[in-house]
Amino acid sequence: DAKTTQPNSMESNEEEPVHLPCNHSTISGTDYIHWYRQLPSQGPEYVIHGLTSNVNNRMASLAIAEDRKSSTLILHRATLRDAAVYYCILRDLGAGSYQLTFGKGTKLSVIP
Partner 1 sequence: NAGVTQTPKFQVLKTGQSMTLQCAQDMNHNSMYWYRQDPGMGLRLIYYSASEGTTDKGEVPNGYNVSRLNKREFSLRLESAAPSQTSVYFCASSEDKVNTEAFFGQGTRLTVV
Sites for partner 1 among residues 12-41 (CB under 8 A):
30-32, 34, 36, 41
* Minimum gap (Å) between residue 7 Cβ and partner 1: 14
How far apart CA 108 and CA 93 sit, in angstroms, is: 29
* Minimum gap (Å) between residue 53 Cβ and partner 1: 12
The dihedral built from the CA positions of residue 23, 25, 29 and 30, taken in this order, carries a sign that is negative
Give the contact letters, 89-108, x = binds to partner 1 (CB under 8 A), - = no. --xxx-xxxxxxxxxxx---
Binding of partner 1 by 86 (CB under 8 A)? no
Provide CB contacts within 8 A for 81, sequence distance 6+.
Answer: 39
